[in-house]
Structure 1
């Protein structure tokens, strides 16, 4: 059997297992811990809730692995292969409420084990992921309050739009915000400053067979995307009607890169619009604005968001929307994301939660070599995420679901950004 045939057979086997077993994670997402349950451990006026997740997953595009029967070190297949994975995820949720000082902290460590059941040789890329989020609020109910926070995450789901599967991301962002609520709270203005860094490394140590474009498919080159980002923002909300507000959001990002080859970004994004209830069951958000990078000679672009939510009942809702954003990225300077999305969720019987999301992103990369030319890179990304979760006890939640990711790019040489990914997963969460 040829290597291509082997690839198709493994892909079909992974997809079949995913569809038959339906082994997904719970509705609250792949990296977010389950909501607090149980009694917890009393800490002052608050509670510490230890959590433990056990998740099994079948992934049809888990990574680049050696070919079957390969005896030559440093050789991997030219396409993403399927695998069965096990996530062991202990964590905690800490809540310390207070009028003068309140603390909220969430964290977990996730050991991701590649079992080798579908693709022998994959166990070598087993690794540790994790998440930590801290928020400390001073004088929460006063006209002037202060929020200090930090978000840390290590994950194989990178936030970089230019990179695809097979990459680990290490991200950290610290932030300080000062919410101002003069005149009883009808007007709220929040200046904020944050500083974040993100580092990338490959899941594998060598380039896939047939990789000709090191920028796009050689995992040893992903550290070219490492960056530092300083953001200053000003958000405002004025409720000129009881349930309708004028909203303003202005952000300025200074993005620099640790490796040479990408221009620093001086990106200003500003939008304004309205958000509120149209009827007791329909809420709408409509914003428009402009984005401009002053660090490069690019024309500005229109920014927008149009979103509508419909309350089907007290426990069921549906949301539909469109957004356009402009963000910096290594190698290409900027990218524009035109995104459409549909979300729905329902709570049945107080225990069973059903939810589903579908989205489509059209990514336009504005690299200096091909901006305005016929060969400029364009990517599309389709996502489907659905599945139920059930609360058996206050401290025990289980769920199943299914994920589909289809990504295509005009850069056809890069397998990590041209793939169809099926994932089925099952998670059981215990919260004390």
Structure 2
């Protein structure tokens, strides 16, 4: 193993040992509180275990056994039946002095080799951890210290193709300030993040013409990001507030001097609140500007509406425009339209559905690139017992890019069956 590989595994082991295995938010259902748990002070510690069988049509790139050349790979992402085993912990300790919220998981991802024989060597460990310490949560001045760790095949880098593992960690500190009766709240925040990448497969996909679609070279896009900012909220009506958000992100790439660093300033303001007893609206607009060498600026904003059809059924939809740093190109813009629905039936059956379309534009006049990403996620969860939850679901991801390469142009179907045991 290379020295950089040792560093990554050491970081992974250290964070998991300190924070415990955690629940990742990406494509994961919330762990129910079920059972009695283990009493910890005023709170409860809930051990849990997930078993998931997932049929995935696009897990990675692997050698093509139909040819005699070991360097030849399949022309597209390979399918596989994947087993995921997730032991974990969830802890909540409420307190007026220091509230603790933590959750975690350690995940073994096993490629069975039933559909793609040579995929078994791609089996790997994933995991996540979330820890939040909230000091003086009921006071006029508080302090929040938080850390989020995630090792997953769902990378945050929009420029990279499929078949990539990401190791991400972000530490944050914020100071909620609520003078008077709490109608005004100001929260300055400082965050530091790093992300490292490595391939799932060990071969270059067919048609790859740029480094961003080559999983072998993804470690060139490892980065460090520092973000400083503040948010404010003024509740000028009982259920309506004026909101302001601003932050400055400084992105530096650790290995690749070809990726332009970014100094991105973003600011938004608007309204958030109820317009009726059943309808909530968030409307914000602002601007993003890059002071880095690659330049780039655009308006950003969000318009979202939530309809509470009944106490157990909600619908949400909206449009979001963001501007973020990205490897190789400097910046990218994301225009997203999305809809979401959730319904609780009989107190035990939860139905969810989510659909989104993202139009991604990358800021590099010498290499113009535009991607379209379609996402669909749906399925039911059923609570058989307070300690047993079952779920089935289907996820669709379709990506098309103006850049050639099967890693950036693919359709991925995922069907899963999951059982969760909670104490």
TM-score, normalisation: structure 2:
0.92
Structure 1 residue 223 displacement after superposition: 1.2
Say whether the 8 Å CA contact 2:229–2:246 is kept in structure 1. yes
| Runs of 4+ displaced beyond 4 Å | 69-72
Aligned to 1:146: 143
Higher RCO (CA-CA < 8 Å; seq separation 6+): 1
Whole-Å separation in 2 of the counterparts to 1:50 and 1:311? 33
DSSP-derived class of the 2:180 partner: helix
Q: Distance in 2 between matches of 1:155 and 1:29?
A: 9
Please give the secondary structure, in 1, of the residue aligned with 2:247: strand
| Equivalent pairs, count | 399
Aligned residue among 78, 81, 94 for 2:78:
81
Residue in structure 2 matching 1:288, options 282, 285, 292? 285
Q: Which residue of 2 aligns with 1:426?
A: 417
1:397 and 2:411 matched: no
Indicate the SS of the match to 2:176: coil
| TM-score, normalisation: structure 1 | 0.90
Give the distance between the partners of 1:411 and 1:349, measured in 2 at CA. Answer: 48
Distance 1:264 1:40 in 2: 47
Contact 2:287–2:300 (8 Å) recurs in 1 = yes
**1:293, distance to aligned residue in structure 2 (A):** 0.2
Match of 1:12 in 2: none
Gaps (5+ residues) in structure 1? 1-25, 371-375
3-state SS, counterpart of residue 121 of structure 1: helix
Out of 220, 223, 227, the position equivalent to 1:224 is: 220
Say what the alpha-carbon RMSD is for the aligned residues: 1.5
Residue 296 of structure 1: how far off its partner (Å): 3.0
**Counterpart contact for 2:361–2:371, Cα < 8 Å:** yes
CA distance in 2, matches of 1:323, 1:214: 29
For the Cα contact (< 8 Å) 1:202–1:219, is it kept in 2? Answer: yes
Paired residue for 2:305, among 288, 303, 308?
A: 308
Distance in 1, matches of 2:67 and 2:94, equals: 57
CA contact (8 A) 2:147 2:172 kept: yes
- Residue 166 of structure 2 aligns to a residue whose secondary structure is strand
Change (3 A) 1:113 1:299: closer
Match of 1:277 among 267, 274, 283: 274
Secondary structure of 1:184's counterpart equals coil
Alpha-carbon contact 1:214-1:221 (below 8 Å) kept: no
Shift in alpha-carbon separation, 1:131–1:299, aligned structure 2, 3 A: closer
Tell whether 2:237 aligns with 1:241.
Answer: yes
Which 10-residue stretch deviates more, 145-154 or 43-52?
43-52
Distance 2:382 2:31 in 1: 12
Match of 2:180 in 1: 183
**Aligned counterpart, 2:407:** 416
Matched, 1:387 2:379: yes
With over 3 angstroms needed to count, the CA separation of the structure-2 counterparts of 1:209 and 1:309, relative to structure 1, is closer
